[in-house]
Amino acid sequence: MKVKKYSAAGAESGTATVTDVLFGAPVNESAIHAVIRTENRNRRHGTHKTKDFAEVSGGGKKPWRQKGTGHARQGSIRAPQWRHGAVALGPQPRDYRIGINDKVRRLGIVSILSKKASKEQVALIDALTIAEFSTKTIHGIFKKAGFEGSPVVYVTDSSDVKLQKSFGNLPNAKIMHAQRLNAPELLYADCVFFSEGAIKYLEGRYKIERKRKPA
């Protein structure tokens, strides 16, 4: 499959051939849904919390006697029906994480990459390197490539701290290592840029072995 190729400065420099193992596989929408749902749930902190009856301070005294007042019986002014009282059946801290089979996750990632490639939203770019921390430099690269303000992802096989920090202040540009691809960012990006090293790494890791149909 042919994709656009860019220089490290962001200038278009022709086309390149990428493997069909990653970018020409059949798209499995169920696997895409599963991997997106799993990652979105696993990112939730689940720290929401309201106070129940035992946790609200005050209200130790019975507001009035049980009978003879004409009011409904009440045991505490911190009961849920009172203003400033407890919250009945409110949210409590919980763990939203769910698991996913490794094979399904690989299939989901490959399906996302193939889907992006079919829409011409995949490109190859020379490995980005910078001498100093510079968000302006990274912004200029994608601006020259024609993606200023658009959500883009750069996938690399290196662990350059200066490069990672330079992406930090760009709200629409994300950097991720080929060892840990984030499915939502890949799916919703307008273009996914890969370094050659990242492509080679992913070829081996995300190869989907399909069983042959019996003759």
The residue-averaged pLDDT of 68-92 equals 95
The residue-averaged pLDDT of 174-198 equals 95
Contacts of 68 (CB under 8 A, 6+ apart): none
For the residues of 156-182, what is the DSSP string, one character each?
ESS--HHHHHHHTT-TTEEEEETTS--
Does 209 have pLDDT greater than 90?
Answer: no
Please state, in angstroms and rounded to a whole number, the distance separating the CA atoms of residues 1 and 24: 7
Q: What is the pLDDT of residue 204?
A: 84
User: What's the pLDDT tens digit per position in 193-206?
Assistant: 999 999 999 988 87
- Residue ranges, comma separated, of all CATH 3.40.1370.10 domains in the chain are 2-44+100-205
User: What's the pLDDT tens digit per position in 113-152?
Assistant: 999 999 999 999 999 988 899 999 999 999 999 999 899 9
Whole-angstrom CA distances from 27 to 109, 134, 190 are: 10, 37, 18
Where is 184: in which H helix or E strand? helix 183-188
For the chain, counts of helices (H) and of strands (E): 7, 6
Domain boundaries 2-44+100-205, corresponding CATH code: 3.40.1370.10
